[in-house]
Structure 1
């Protein structure tokens, strides 16, 4: 069983969930549970016309929302609080073994924080709800996979967080995940943080003093790690098959190349948690919410990845 959280109920989450569930086989639909607001789903069905009756054709854990259905496409603290409560219910079910993986529809970070839930997004929220010190984000597409040493922090903070110990942990986490997916010896490239990896100290020394020691430590553990490699070439090389995974040092360094080559198909996966979670790699799309035109392709990819994890492939 996988669980799908609705995300922000004023965004496109309810619509793409209904479309994705309607496209499932009866067998897969029977192994799917939605964590969200029943009234919002019913209203979204009016726009989508999927033919589903939520609660009858697909299991729903109803988490009521004050004032539902909320206006589409508007930032609302009530929606931010609802997104948190949907996730908390799904995490409880996952920790209890009722579902094997959580798939998350997008939330709005401003609405989440306006409701008093001060997280940088789903990954930070999941780490808190599961009592995990740190979680990692990997963006996975067919030809390019990227794990991030840091994500939702300033670029200045990201440089400070690129310590040998942190990068080594990131390499290990990515290596373990790919092995779980069936890679015998993942080839991992570690991106540099400065132009040309500092060019021998001309453009900074962080690559020599912070990144290279982590790569050497990973190699000593038997991990097939390479780097630091200049960021302006490493993603191209990985996309063309030289590496199975790239370690990015900060948010945009990893997100830009993945979104360029796989905007509609890349899956966001949380690693380092006691539960599994995948997600779409797009936002709430407030500008088209409630119109019944949002594409569910990315959510289908996230669901497919979740089913791999839930069935224990690679164990």
Structure 2
């Protein structure tokens, strides 16, 4: 069955509309899935002008929509383009897309970059879009962003919290949740036997307790307990070397202790190609890992690499979802 992928333009004041136009013009994209663009016509047409690409938007009937032979299937959602209004447009298109997922009209969702400040101005009640989506979809289990670059993955034991709070937030339960989530997501992406390593919190993995006891007290016994249950995980490994294993494809994923520990490594390896997977949701949802790039918005300079990667990962996840 051909996957049905919904795509929304993200913040209309950023590079999202341009990225969508470039993605639709990329070779093989429209043949790889039935695509439904969800958003305001003026925003999507704005993206075409910025990208120098043009295609017809064909309104569809949601009850039985198919990719039209000419043009691209499109569902109208009215938005505006000022900062607070941009946030409202993001929330409106995102919530509409979530309704389409729940109703079975689309199988997966790809969104262009959001701006969290604009979303909070418009009333976002959560720290990020992932937890907003989780609430709208009725998810009560563990949620975490997963980052992907060229087939290598990272997840986080802690995410959007102050660095001073990280050590206290690392618990055996939270670490196991992070490992289970990335293991399940890797399998849903087509990796039958994932290989997962855990990064240490302290330099040299604590050096036997000389640089902190966190590894001794929490990650190591938690990992040993998971290994006894045949979970494919090892560590904790010093974070300045574990990413070399990931780069050299000795493992498939690293579970990090905090947000920047994994983000810095992946963005140095390929900032323009990174993807964020919204881990823990009941549907495949992906987005480029970069920002709205207001500094180059409207200039036709945005690179579509990460948007294409996000589309490909969402398509693969739909094909392997269980």
TM-score by shorter chain over 0.5: yes
Alpha-carbon deviation of 1:43?
A: 2.4
Alpha-carbon deviation of 1:29?
A: 7.4
Which of 266, 273, 278 aligns to 1:270? It is 278
C-alpha offsets along residues 77-106 of structure 1, whole Å, 9 cap, x if unaligned?
Answer: 110111111110111111111111111110
Confirm or deny that 1:161 pairs with 2:169: yes
Secondary structure of 1:269's match? Answer: strand
- Relative distance call for 1:242 and 1:43 in structure 2 (3 A) is closer
Q: Distance in 2 between matches of 1:294 and 1:61?
A: 24
Q: Distance in 2 between matches of 1:252 and 1:14?
A: 28
Secondary structure of 2:57's match? Answer: coil
Gaps of 5+ in 2: 60-70
Using the size of structure 1 for normalisation, the TM-score is: 0.92
Aligned to 2:62: none
Alpha-carbon deviation of 1:26?
A: 7.7
Aligned to 1:32: 35
Contact 2:190–2:317 (Cα < 8 Å) also in 1: no
Contact 1:185–1:223 (Cα < 8 Å) also in 2: no
RMSD of equivalent CA atoms: 1.8
Aligned to 1:145: 153
Q: Which range is displaced more, 189-198 or 126-135?
A: 126-135
Alpha-carbon deviation of 1:255?
A: 0.4
Which of 281, 284, 297 aligns to 2:305? It is 297
Aligned to 2:199: 191
Confirm or deny that 1:61 pairs with 2:64: no
Alpha-carbon deviation of 1:157?
A: 2.8
Secondary structure of 2:36's match? Answer: strand
Aligned to 2:134: 127
Alpha-carbon deviation of 1:252?
A: 0.2
Gaps of 5+ in 1: none
Contact 1:188–1:225 (Cα < 8 Å) also in 2: yes
Contact 1:279–1:302 (Cα < 8 Å) also in 2: yes
User: Any residues of structure 2 matched to 1:1-315 within 5 Å, and which?
Assistant: 1-25=4-28, 27-28=30-31, 31-55=34-58, 57-65=71-79, 68=80, 70=81, 76-133=83-140, 134-142=142-150, 144-312=152-320
Aligned length: 307
Using the size of structure 2 for normalisation, the TM-score is: 0.90
C-alpha offsets along residues 161-216 of structure 1, whole Å, 9 cap, x if unaligned?
Answer: 21100101111111122223333322110001111122222221111112112211
Q: Distance in 2 between matches of 1:24 and 1:244?
A: 28
